[in-house]
Amino acid sequence: MSTHPSGTVLPLSALVGKRRRLQDSRINMAHGSGGKAMRDLIQDVFVEAFDNPALNALEDQAVFSLASLATHGDRLAFTTDTYVVDPLFFPGGDIGTLAVAGTVNDLAMSGAKPLYLSCGMVLEEGLEVELLRRVVASMKRVADEAGVTIVTGDTKVVERGSADKLFINTAGVGIVPRGVEISASRAQVGDVVIVNGYLGDHGTAILIARNLLALSSDIASDCQPLASLIAAMLQACPDIHCLRDATRGGVATVLNEFAQSSNVAIRLREAALPLREEVKGACEILGLDPLYMANEGKLVAVVPRDAAAAVLAAMRAHPAGVDAAIIGEVGERPAGIVVLQTAFGGERIVDMLVGEQLPRIC
Summarize pLDDT for 222-266 with one digit per residue, the tens. Answer: 999 999 999 999 999 999 999 999 999 999 999 999 999 999 999
Distance, CA of 86 to CA of 349 (rounded, Å): 31
Q: What pLDDT does residue 19 have?
A: 60
Q: Are residues 319 and 205 part of one domain?
A: yes
- What Cα–Cα distance (Å) separates residue 4 from each residue in 33, 54, 60, 116, 351? 22, 5, 7, 13, 47
| 154-177 tens-digit pLDDT | 999 999 999 999 999 999 999 999
Distance, CA of 27 to CA of 81 (rounded, Å): 24
Domain count, the chain: 2
Of 246, 184, 204, which Cα lies nearest the Cα of 91?
A: 204
- Residue 61: left (phi > 0), alpha (psi -120 to 50), or beta? beta
Q: What pLDDT does residue 309 have?
A: 98
Beta bridge partners of 330: 266
Over residues 176-187, mean pLDDT = 96
Q: What pLDDT does residue 9 have?
A: 42
Q: What pLDDT does residue 286 have?
A: 87
Over residues 308-332, mean pLDDT = 98
At 181 the three-state DSSP class reads coil
Over residues 214-224, mean pLDDT = 85
Question: Chain-wide mean pLDDT for the chain?
Answer: 92
**DSSP state, residue 47:** I
Q: What pLDDT does residue 42 have?
A: 93
Parent domain of 150 = 12-176
Output Rg (C-alpha) for the chain, integer angstroms: 22
Q: Assess if residue 241 is contained within a domain.
A: yes
Taking 70 as the threshold, does the pLDDT of residue 39 lie above it?
Answer: yes
Q: What pLDDT does residue 203 have?
A: 94
Q: Assess if residue 6 is contained within a domain.
A: no
Distance, CA of 90 to CA of 87 (rounded, Å): 7
Q: Are residues 96 and 147 part of one domain?
A: yes
Distance, CA of 63 to CA of 74 (rounded, Å): 18
Helix H or strand E encompassing 155: strand 149-158
Helix H or strand E encompassing 133: helix 129-146
- Residue 138: left (phi > 0), alpha (psi -120 to 50), or beta? alpha
At 61 the three-state DSSP class reads coil
Q: Are residues 262 and 345 part of one domain?
A: yes
Taking 80 as the threshold, does the pLDDT of residue 68 lie above it?
Answer: yes
- The residue that leads in pLDDT, 12 or 54, is 54
Given a contact cutoff of 8 angstroms between Cβ atoms, the answer to whether 110 and 77 are in contact is yes
Q: Model pTM?
A: 0.91
Q: What pLDDT does residue 13 have?
A: 41
Q: Report the helix count and the strand count for the chain, using DSSP H and E.
A: 12, 13
Over residues 127-153, mean pLDDT = 97
Q: Tell me how many degrees the CA angle 214-251-295 measures, rounded to the nearest 5.
A: 50
Q: Are residues 102 and 63 part of one domain?
A: yes
Q: Are residues 162 and 69 part of one domain?
A: yes
| 72-108 tens-digit pLDDT | 999 999 999 999 999 999 999 999 999 999 999 999 9
Q: Assess if residue 114 is contained within a domain.
A: yes
Over residues 8-12, mean pLDDT = 42
Q: Assess if residue 362 is contained within a domain.
A: no
* CATH number, residue 243: 3.90.650.10
Q: What pLDDT does residue 212 have?
A: 72
227-236 and 308-316 helices, crossing angle to 10°: 140
Q: What pLDDT does residue 211 have?
A: 83
Distance, CA of 56 to CA of 139 (rounded, Å): 17
Distance, CA of 256 to CA of 312 (rounded, Å): 22
Last residue of a domain, one of 117, 148, 176: 176
Taking 70 as the threshold, does the pLDDT of residue 152 lie above it?
Answer: yes
At 345 the three-state DSSP class reads coil
Q: Are residues 217 and 95 part of one domain?
A: no
Q: Are residues 342 and 312 part of one domain?
A: yes
| 11-23 tens-digit pLDDT | 444 444 446 778 8
Burial 47-62 (b: 16+ CB within 10 A, else e): bbbbbbebbbbbbeeb
* CATH number, residue 155: 3.30.1330.10
Q: Assess if residue 186 is contained within a domain.
A: no
Task: Work out the burial of residue 36: count CB atoms within 10 Å of its CB; fewer than 13 is exposed, 13-18 middle, 19 or more buried.
Answer: exposed
**DSSP state, residue 260:** H
Q: What pLDDT does residue 6 have?
A: 40
**DSSP state, residue 266:** E
At residue 144 the predicted structure's pLDDT band, cuts being 50, 70 and 90, is: very high
Taking 70 as the threshold, does the pLDDT of residue 69 lie above it?
Answer: yes
